[in-house]
Amino acid sequence: MKHNNKELLLGTANFNSLYRISQQNEFQPLNLLETAYEKGIRTLDISNSYIDAYKFVAETNLHWKINAKIAIYGDQKNLQQQLRIKVIEISEQMPNTKISILMIHNLSDVTMYTMEEISSSLRQIAQEFDIEKIGVSLYPEQINDLITENFDVIQIPINVLDQRVLRTRIMNMSIANKFQLQARSIYLRGLLSTSTDFSVKLNSVDTSSVDLFKKWCMDHNLNTSFVCLNFVYHLDNVSQIIFGANNVNELLENIDFFNKSESITLEIPYSDFQNTNLKLIDPRYWDA
């Protein structure tokens, strides 16, 4: 789904129960995928680390484009061969799909390689399998190590709390250097968009900025999910927005918010909500 040089991608991280916030009986992946396709979404953000995602996508028998994030487990040796194996697995397990972007899921998986070696391995596999673009998924603290010219796509978390990337060089470089910037974690794994109780996951963490954001939205009669998506939509350098949905109603709501954002720019004091506490804005620290 595209308009105004923006594309909405459906994320599949929550197909892995580790990332899911809904109850198991509420999660209907096939219905979710089929409705997304019917409504015009054609690209899925997917990783080999998202357990069961390949299976659900294959069962739809639809011609998806795949934003393929490859997680490298264990031995890092022979990166190119490992990438080749993972690409073949995608073609075998999701035969009706086409990889449009091949990415490293986490730079921490490939620390023994330089950026040039990583991009070279990705590029060679992309050429071998007729994949249009290559990229990396990373965190803001990894940006300084990045040589942006080596990649076509960079994926990074951006949301109303985690605005770290807005203060980095990458926001001023994507258009000039002609790489695409993808925004993920726009709802911070549901923390910003649902009423789910996160007190266990965020035990003893100061969540006052979350409370402030939700209260501001309530006081101004605004849906928190709409505010989150609208914020990312109007970042000029962001060209692709990845979102997750736990049910069809959430999916349709997000599509509606995406379409409305084309003509609506909310005037909101986003700087009031930003937070730099990693225990809050980085889910890797939750439950720690």
How many CA atoms are closer than 13 Å to the CA of 113, on its beta-carbon side? 21
pLDDT at 137: 94
DSSP element (H, E) containing 209: helix 208-219
Which residue range is the domain that position 71 belongs to?
2-189+228-270
pLDDT for res 23: 52
Q: Is 284 a member of any domain?
A: no
Domain CATH for 261:
3.20.20.100
- DSSP annotation string for 5-61: TEEEEEE-GGGSGGG--S-GGG--HHHHHHHHHHTT--EEEEETTSTTHHHHHHHHT
What's the length of the chain?
A: 288
Q: How far apart are CA 207 and CA 197, in angstroms?
A: 12
Q: What are phi and psi of 270, to 5 degrees?
A: -60, -30
The predicted pLDDT at position 152 comes to 93
Domain assignment present for residue 219? The answer is: no
pLDDT at 256: 96
Tokens of 203: 């035990």
Residue 194: inside a domain: no
User: What is the predicted pLDDT for the residue at 150?
Assistant: 86
Give the closest residue to 231 by CA, choosing from 278, 202, 188, 194: 188
Q: Which residues contact 111 (CB under 8 A, 6 or more apart)?
A: 76
For the chain (length 288 residues), average pLDDT per consecutive 10? Answer: 84 74 66 96 94 92 96 85 95 96 92 91 97 94 76 95 88 67 94 77 88 95 96 93 93 96 92 94 83
Instruction: Give backbone dihedrals phi and psi of 279, rounded to 5 degrees, phi first.
Output: -70, -15
Q: Is 287 domain-assigned?
A: no
Residue 249: predicted pLDDT: 93
CB 235 within 8 A of CB 241: no
Report which residue type is found at 240.
Q
Q: Is residue 140 part of a domain?
A: yes
Lookup: tokens for 105: 């899921």
Q: What is the pTM of this model?
A: 0.92
Please give the tally of structural domains in the chain: 1
Inside any domain, residue 222: no
DSSP letter assigned to residue 219: H
Listed as own residue / partner, the contacts of 177-181 with beta carbons closer than 8 Å and 24 or more positions apart are 177/148, 177/149, 179/135, 179/148, 179/151, 179/152, 179/153, 179/154, 180/133, 180/135, 180/152, 180/153, 180/154, 180/239, 180/240, 181/153, 181/154, 181/155, 181/156, 181/237, 181/238, 181/239, 181/240
What is the token pair recorded at 143?
């940006």
Domain membership flag for residue 280: no
Residue 112 is assigned to a structural domain of this protein: yes
pLDDT attached to residue 255: 96
